[in-house]
Amino acid sequence: MKKTLFTGACTALVTPFLNGKVNYPMLEQLLKRQMEAGIRALVICGTTGESPTLCDAEKLEMFRRAKRYVGDGCLIIAGTGSNCTEHAVALSKAAEDMGADALLVVSPYYNKATEEGLVAHYSAIAGAVHIPVIAYNVPSRTGMDIPVSVYQCLSLIPNMAGVKEASTSISKIAKILASCPKDFVVWSGNDDQAAAVMALGGQGVISVLSNVMPVETQAMAQAALDGDFDTAADLQLRMLPLIELLFSEVNPIPVKAAMKLIGFDCGECRLPLTPMSRESHEKLKKLLSIS
């Protein structure tokens, strides 16, 4: 039986920039805030962290500094996915050397893969490291949806911890939970579905929302873990307007704007992502009650 890597809310952390470079002092502020809010797992250099525009050297330095800062107080989950298996293997091994506790690996994008190719891709990565690996399924970004049959195969790999499922299909999540071993964990990849996924048996959420509202996101997830679905649902619904605004434009454009509004200037996104539109920004200011 595999040990569950984490439960509750895990923040997919934004990458702060200053003058186009990674802002490491701000990164430490973000890490400190997350830990003080009770978050015990963080994804560094995921989609929300603008992984497509970060070079490997930047990613590895962020993994190293993040783990050095949090120590044993928080899991650092390194985003090491690529549509090139060889590259993903090399980056995953290097991330492990930098102290990462686990890996988040998005499915191959653009070139996609057959079911056989997906199993081979994840098997190669998991076999190259000694730390847990989380598959990441996000069809809206990758152009493909990992089928349940692939999860059944991946669940047999000793260090495949589970999946961040962002397909938006609750029915599919039910099928994963019904057909895979219980130690192959499902984490919601969508903030607006977190409570529902956990009601089915998911163990938490890998969240964009918790950049802005870490205490509340963790409270929602913990309520669901405790079986208090009335509280979890209430929190889910209360945060829904903000969740919708955070995804009103391409992530992480809105969440970076929100972080600046609440006092954490993480800089602008790197191109090709551009600043949030004025209309959406005004809605965000109003929702966050910032004049």
What are the catalytic residues? 136, 164
β-bridge mates for residue 185, sequence order: 162
Alpha helix ranges (H) inside 48-181? 56-70, 85-97, 115-128, 139-142, 148-154, 170-179
3-state secondary structure of 181: coil
Quickly count: other Cβ atoms within 10 Å of residue 147's Cβ.
Answer: 14
3-state secondary structure of 186: strand
Q: What are phi and psi of 43, to 5 degrees?
A: -95, 125
Q: How far apart are CA 35 and CA 74, in angstroms?
A: 7
CA-based nearest residue to 151, from 140, 141, 167, 137: 137
Q: What are phi and psi of 203, to 5 degrees?
A: -105, 5
| Strand stretches in the chain, DSSP E | 8-12, 17-18, 21-22, 41-44, 75-79, 102-106, 133-137, 160-165, 185-188, 204-207
The strand pair at 160-165 and 102-106 is best described as unpaired
β-bridge mates for residue 135, sequence order: 105, 163
